[in-house]
Structure 1
Amino acid sequence: MANYRASDSKREQFRRYLEKSGVLDTLTSVLVALYEEPDKPNNALDFIKLHMGAGGPEPADADALRMELTDLQQKCNLLMEENKELRTRLMQHEAPPDEEPGE
């Protein structure tokens, strides 16, 4: 009998923890949204993941973002090289600070 009360007490503590952290409210709202959905999705778990934000980006979106990142990194590298080259050219055309023009 004491074992039953101990596990019941742990359950109650866990329930309070979930309630306090907002998990129960979030789960309830997602499940209500699924219940009120007129066209039930084929995969209820995907619906729940999507509405809880755990789904993450779609694989196609992730691939597109990776490609864009690679492209932007290449552009950045090209611009850094161009900047370095232009700075070198500028330094060649500037007069040293101790020389006056016309001397």
Structure 2
Amino acid sequence: MAQYRASESKRERFRRYLERSGLLDNLTSVLVELYEESDKPDNPLDFIKTHLGAAGSNPAVTSDLQQELAELQQRCDQLLEENKALKNKLLQYEPTPEGGAAE
């Protein structure tokens, strides 16, 4: 009996969590939209994903963002190489700790 109450309490905490996060309201409104849809979709899961925003964005926007990401990664690699080269160049002009005071 105690195990039943523990799981009931856990279930109640989860329900309150869903309410606080707003997920219950969003799910309810999407399910109401699905219910009121005159032409029921073949795949209700896709309908829910689309109306919850989980289906993804416009493919053109996604493609542009992927291209921008690739360009930025390439630029980052170039900057890292330049930084490494400049550090090596700087080391040539810095005095060494042993010989720096004697010069």
TM-score by length of 1: 0.59
Aligned residues with identical type, % of pairs: 64
1:58, 1:12 → 2: CA distance? Answer: 38
1:18, 1:68 → 2: CA distance? Answer: 37
User: Secondary structure of 2:11's match?
Assistant: helix
Unaligned residue ranges in structure 1 (runs of 5+)? 74-103
2:55, 2:45 → 1: CA distance? Answer: 10
Tell me which amino acid in the other structure corresponds to 1:2: A
Shift of 1:21: 1.0
1:17, 1:34 → 2: CA distance? Answer: 24
The higher radius of gyration belongs to: 1
Structure 1 residue ranges (4+ consecutive) displaced by more than 2 angstroms after TM superposition: 57-63, 65-70
Shift of 1:20: 1.1
Unaligned residue ranges in structure 2 (runs of 5+)? 72-103
Tell me which amino acid in the other structure corresponds to 1:37: E
Equivalent residues, number: 70
User: Aligned ranges for residues 44-83 of structure 1 at < 5 Å?
Assistant: 44-59=44-59, 62-63=62-63, 65=64
Note the aligned Cα RMSD (angstroms).
2.3
1:41 and 2:41 matched: yes
Tell me which amino acid in the other structure corresponds to 1:39: D
1:28 and 2:23 matched: no
Partner in structure 1 of residue 9 of structure 2: 9
TM-score by length of 2: 0.59
Distance 1:58 1:45, change over 3 A: farther
2:66, 2:54 → 1: CA distance? Answer: 23
